[in-house]
């Protein structure tokens, strides 16, 4: 198996190789095999590889938890009103992407926005025109 990666797998540090071995889904199969072979050649304890996998798993769980609890803040509306409104109105996959709290807030906001639009329309139709 040729090592045509840049930098080559063999030239990487043991920590970098453990990072590759710990995150097999982030790397292609060939890189993973080369990294595992190199770790074996360097006589790295398999417990270190298992620990790298455990650390990566915990990191992914932490990132998923951060996404799930991320919410819209007042500062989002103050500093990025257009982007936040665009996301609230037109983004449909917040829940699928793991943003559970944002998806719930989006649902509430959309209902509120529809109510406001209907009220403005009804008021415009019911009040006499001044022109």
Q: What is the pLDDT of residues 37-94, one digit of tens each?
A: 999 999 999 999 999 999 999 999 999 999 999 999 999 989 999 999 889 888 889 9
Domain boundary (49, 66, 83) is at 66
Count of domains for the chain: 2
* Radius of gyration (C-alpha) of the chain in whole angstroms: 26
> Are both 76 and 49 inside the same structural domain?
no
φ, ψ of residue 68 in degrees (nearest 5): -65, -30
According to the model, what pLDDT value does residue 129 have? 67
In this structure, is residue 61 part of a structural domain?
yes
Domain boundary among 66, 90, 108: 66
Q: Same structural domain for residues 51 and 92?
A: no
Q: Based on the fold, state whether residues 60 and 78 are members of the same structural domain.
A: no
Report the C-alpha dihedral over residues 31, 33, 39, 40, rounded to 10 degrees: -160
The domain of 30 spans: 9-66
Q: What average pLDDT does the chain have?
A: 91
- C-alpha dihedral over 72, 76, 78, 79, to 10 degrees? 180
Q: Is position 1 within any domain?
A: no
Residue 2 lies in a domain: no
Question: How many percent of the chain have pLDDT more than 90?
Answer: 69
Share of the chain above pLDDT 70, in %: 97
Q: Assess whether 21 and 56 both reside in one domain.
A: yes
96 and 113 both lie in a single domain: yes
Q: Same domain, yes or no, for 60 and 102?
A: no
Residues 115 and 82 occupy one common structural domain: yes
């Amino acid at each position: 198996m040729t090592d045509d990666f840049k930098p080559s797998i063999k030239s990487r540090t043991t920590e970098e190789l453990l990072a590759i071995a710990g995150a097999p889904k982030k790397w292609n199969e060939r890189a993973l095999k080369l990294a595992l072979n190199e770790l074996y050649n360097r006589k790295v304890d398999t417990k270190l590889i298992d620990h790298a996998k455990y650390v990566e798993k915990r990191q992914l769980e932490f990132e998923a938890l951060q996404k799930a609890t991320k919410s819209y803040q007042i500062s989002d509306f103050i500093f990025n009103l257009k982007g936040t409104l665009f996301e609230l109105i037109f983004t449909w996959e917040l829940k699928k992407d793991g943003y559970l709290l944002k998806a719930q807030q989006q649902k509430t906001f959309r209902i509120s926005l529809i109510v406001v639009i209907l009220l403005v329309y009804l008021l415009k139709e019911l009040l006499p025109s001044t022109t």
